[in-house]
Amino acid sequence: MAGGNAIRGSRVGAGPLGESERGEIAPRFWVSYWCANGHETRPSFSSEAEIEAPETWDCPRCGFPAGQDRENPPTPSRNEPYKTHLAYVKERRSDEDGVAILDEALAALRARRGR
């Protein structure tokens, strides 16, 4: 069923493809990066910019760092598991400190309730 919408499937700013409509493409160079899983990534960089390609690049497939040396890719960093607030408190306080703080809080609560 035709909906009468002439631009269906199009997006704002879309136009005919090709260099004649959009201008010349800037000169680019590509650098290959490999991660520990063997994935290759080839981002492109501007040849006119006066910067060098970075040493490492994040692999878009697995998220590991990727380097320019295929035989020696960088090792993935070890991520610490998420810690809750309670885990951090337990690192700083001993069990005896925890019992003392709990007793103090319970005493204050009972005093407010009138017991």
Task: Quote the CATH superfamily of domain 28-67.
Answer: RNA polymerase-binding protein A (2.20.28.270)
Annotated binding site for Zn(2+): 35, 39, 59, 62
Tell me what pLDDT residue 37 has: 93
In the chain, where the domains are located: 28-67, 85-114
Tell me what pLDDT residue 22 has: 64
Number of H helices, E strands in the chain: 3, 6
pLDDT tens for each residue of 43-58: 999 888 888 889 999 9
Tell me what pLDDT residue 90 has: 87
Annotated binding site: 35, 39, 59, 62
Task: Decide if 67 contacts 55 (C-beta within 8 A).
Answer: yes
Tokens matching residue 75: 């090792």
Mean pLDDT in consecutive groups of 10 residues from the start of the chain, 115 residues: 59 61 80 94 90 92 93 88 89 91 94 84
Tell me what pLDDT residue 25 has: 79
* Model pTM score: 0.53
Tell me what pLDDT residue 10 has: 63
